[in-house]
Amino acid sequence: MPTLRLALCQVNPTVGDLAGNAALVRAWARRAADAGAQLVAFPEMVLTGYPVEDLVFRRSFVAASRAALDRLAADLAADGLGELPVLVGYLDADGPPQVSGDAEPGRGARNAAALLHRGGIVATYFKHHLPNYGVFDEDRYFVPGRELTVVRVGGVDVALTICEDLWQAGGPFAAARQAGVGLVLNINGSPYELNKDDIRLPLVRRRAAEAGATIAYVNMIGGQDELVFEGDSMIVTADGELLTRAPQFVEHLLVHDVDLPPARESAGPDEALADDMRVVRAAVDAVPPPAGGPAATGGIIAPVADEAEVWQALVLGLRDYVDKNRFPSVVLGLSGGIDSAVVAALAVDALGPDRVVGVSLPSQHSSEHSREDAAELAKRTGLDYRVEPIQPMVDTFLANMSLSGVSVENLQARVRGVILMALSNQEGHLVLTTGNKSELAVGYSTLYGDSVGGFNPVKDVWKTLVWRLAKWRNADAARRGETPPIPENSIGKPPSAELSPGQLDSDTLPDYDVLDPILIGYVDGDLGRDGLVASGHDPAIVDRVLRMVDTAEYKRRQSAPGTKISMKAFGRDRRLPITNRWREDG
């Protein structure tokens, strides 16, 4: 039985940075070669970054991707790595035009993978199953491939697949079984979701059984705009044995010797396979394995606890948003409350205290303990701490306008927003927003006030999870003998916006222990009123919460729309990655 030393390169590319991503591939291919690898795989669209969204529609970008691929193949050979077969994801466009209406002439873009060897491209594969749900819009961007590419490497038949191909039954994995392959490479840009790692391993096992082959799964890591990729690369045998598994949220080279069945002389049929696919075959000579050394094993990293996993995801998402967009530093308001304390702790973990500015913005309604808790947080974390009282500005507005009630509450939040944005303009910091998902859901925030900012690390974190994260982070620090970053008082005190005398969240909202389960059912679970009531929630509270969410839905959306008179209005239909290093002029 042949043995192949596989190297899975769990790296962190950046959308649009073709030169940087190619350099990343060259550096990690070198590391893989040094480890004696015979076959190397990089993630989905590693060369362009993922997801490229509407960049697909720029012919110049597609052409740049293809040119970069050719150059990479040549550069790998020039680096002395030409004998090593290297699989990379990239953007191609040789497909037939997409059907997209007479009004919008189609394109034939492909989510593609190429096997590079001896300075050239020896095989390509086009993603077959295109995800078009949740964060994915691939039916909009790509034409599905209809061919399964099988490459004979070192006497083993290896099928090439991409991400979603693994998530749907039938298609390439069924075809791989029919074609009689011994190994399926699956390259991924699979975004992190809570508990997704618990789903992934059983899924890989199911597909390995379907294909009757070992699966080598490699996923990227890193933050890309709103998404975080987590890695969790692994190799699983046809009978479901987990051979090796990489850690989450860090770059990692996973090298493992895998025993694989020799290619059958008379392989399976090449036509009329599952999903009307057909097989295209190629072959490369493999470099011999290092003689005499020990077998390479990647080890198995056990997944971490939920809070640790979410914390790492949020730290990585924030760090990469700041660094890939080249912001020198961040600034945020510190209220003494739990949300801003957690965001500050995340920011310090992501960037270090020297790149985080925390501003206390007290008003006449700010309690003494709020100021003290903010100062205590600053002391514990070492961030750059400032105090900017807002009362003089608030008073000037009030002296010049006739405002009352909620207008005065919102005014205070907006003056804080103006101050943070002025600091951002003057000193170059990115403003962090700190509203949690529960607040966002019920609209318990001020439009253009506390919602001001360039990035919100906790926008998708329910309030009860914010508390759990704070407690976990403090306990983790204590376990390591470090100072817990978050003041106990910020965790323990009742939440308040402090925009009017004695105000508490509980004046307006149900307790978060009651609120969050309803919101989770309604927002995350798409349950209706009846479904929520059937789950045991109090009907009166359900009605109250649903009305708040429905109202907030358009309060939140009031910062965006206008009338479109073309297909290319700015706004949510123009989907461009923010962290995008690609420039027409290079």
Q: Which residues participate in catalysis according to the annotation?
A: 44, 127, 163
Residue with token string 């706004």: 571
Report in angstroms how near the CB of residue 292 gets to a second copy at its nearest: 43
Judge whether 410 is annotated as a binding position: yes
Q: Is the peptide bond before 51 cis (omega within 30 degrees of 0)?
A: yes
Query: Helix, strand, or coil here: 392?
Result: helix
Residues 429, 327 contacting (CB under 8 angstroms): yes
Q: Element (H or E) spanning 379, and its range? A: helix 368-381
Among 314, 332, 342, 486, binds a second copy (CB under 8 A): 314
* 276 near a second copy, rule: CB under 8 A: no
* 428 near a second copy, rule: CB under 8 A: no
- Is 227 or 378 the residue whose CB approaches a second copy more closely? 227
Q: Contacts with a second copy in 465-524 (CB under 8 A)?
A: 523-524
407, 389, 382: which is closest to 397 by C-alpha? 407
Residue with token string 């009846």: 530
Q: Applying CB under 8 A, which part among 137-145, 328-336, 374-382, 486-494 lies near a second copy?
A: 137-145
Structure token pair of residue 577: 């990655």
Sign of the alpha-carbon torsion through 446, 450, 454, 460: negative
* 547 near a second copy, rule: CB under 8 A: yes
Geometric angle at alpha carbon 240, from 235 and 244, rounded to 5°: 25
Number of residues that bind a second copy (CB under 8 A): 124
Among 23, 67, 80, 132, binds a second copy (CB under 8 A): 132
Report in angstroms how near the CB of residue 316 gets to a second copy at its nearest: 8
Judge whether 366 is annotated as a binding position: no
CA distance 348 to 322: 12
* 554 near a second copy, rule: CB under 8 A: yes
- Is 318 or 338 the residue whose CB approaches a second copy more closely? 318
172, 158, 173: which is closest to 210 by C-alpha? 173
Judge whether 500 is annotated as a binding position: no
CA distance 234 to 446: 45
CA distance 190 to 163: 7
* 313 near a second copy, rule: CB under 8 A: yes
* 576 near a second copy, rule: CB under 8 A: yes
- Is 265 or 526 the residue whose CB approaches a second copy more closely? 526
Report in angstroms how near the CB of residue 200 gets to a second copy at its nearest: 10
* 300 near a second copy, rule: CB under 8 A: no
- Is 74 or 578 the residue whose CB approaches a second copy more closely? 578
Judge whether 83 is annotated as a binding position: no
* 180 near a second copy, rule: CB under 8 A: no
- Is 9 or 228 the residue whose CB approaches a second copy more closely? 228
- Is 195 or 297 the residue whose CB approaches a second copy more closely? 195
Binding mask 41-60 for a second copy (x = CB under 8 A): ----------------xxxx
Binding mask 225-264 for a second copy (x = CB under 8 A): xxxx------------------------------------
CA distance 409 to 419: 16
- Is 296 or 548 the residue whose CB approaches a second copy more closely? 548
List phi, psi (to 5°) of 290: -55, 130
CA distance 410 to 147: 58
171, 181, 173: which is closest to 277 by C-alpha? 171
Judge whether 409 is annotated as a binding position: no
Residues 157, 192 contacting (CB under 8 angstroms): no
- Is 123 or 331 the residue whose CB approaches a second copy more closely? 331
Structure token pair of residue 193: 């979701």
Report in angstroms how near the CB of residue 64 gets to a second copy at its nearest: 9
Among 78, 80, 94, 104, binds a second copy (CB under 8 A): 104
Report in angstroms how near the CB of residue 215 gets to a second copy at its nearest: 15
Among 397, 493, 503, 541, binds a second copy (CB under 8 A): 397
- Is 288 or 561 the residue whose CB approaches a second copy more closely? 561
Residue 352: how many other CB atoms lie within 10 Å: 14
Judge whether 471 is annotated as a binding position: no
Q: Applying CB under 8 A, which part among 283-291, 331-339, 497-505, 528-536 lies near a second copy?
A: 528-536
Binding mask 185-214 for a second copy (x = CB under 8 A): ------xxxx-x--x---x-----------
* 570 near a second copy, rule: CB under 8 A: yes
- Is 305 or 569 the residue whose CB approaches a second copy more closely? 569
According to DSSP, residue 557 is labeled G
Q: Contacts with a second copy in 317-346 (CB under 8 A)?
A: 317-318, 321, 325
| Cross-strand pairs, 121 | 116
Judge whether 133 is annotated as a binding position: yes
Residues 570, 54 contacting (CB under 8 angstroms): no
Report in angstroms how near the CB of residue 212 gets to a second copy at its nearest: 19
Report in angstroms how near the CB of residue 87 gets to a second copy at its nearest: 23
Torsional class of 499: left (φ above 0), alpha (ψ -120 to 50), beta (otherwise): alpha
* 558 near a second copy, rule: CB under 8 A: yes
Q: Applying CB under 8 A, which part among 135-143, 172-180, 243-251, 281-289 lies near a second copy?
A: 135-143
CA distance 3 to 155: 9
Judge whether 454 is annotated as a binding position: no
Query: Helix, strand, or coil here: 51?
Result: coil
How are strands ordered across the β-sheet holding 183-188?
Answer: 242-245, 234-236, 214-219, 183-188, 156-162, 147-153, 278-284
Distances (CA, A) of 358 to 29, 258, 348, 378, 491: 41, 51, 10, 7, 18
* 564 near a second copy, rule: CB under 8 A: yes
398, 381, 309: which is closest to 343 by C-alpha? 381
Distance of CA 437 to the CA centre of its chain: 17
* 536 near a second copy, rule: CB under 8 A: no
Q: Contacts with a second copy in 435-474 (CB under 8 A)?
A: 437, 440-441, 447-448, 452-461
Q: Contacts with a second copy in 149-168 (CB under 8 A)?
A: 164, 167-168
Give the strand pairing for 120-126 and 110-117. antiparallel
207, 206, 305, 296: which is closest to 248 by C-alpha? 305
> Residues within the annotated binding site for deamido-NAD(+)?
410, 439, 555
> Residues within the annotated binding site for L-glutamine?
133, 190, 196
> Residues within the annotated binding site for ATP?
333-340, 434
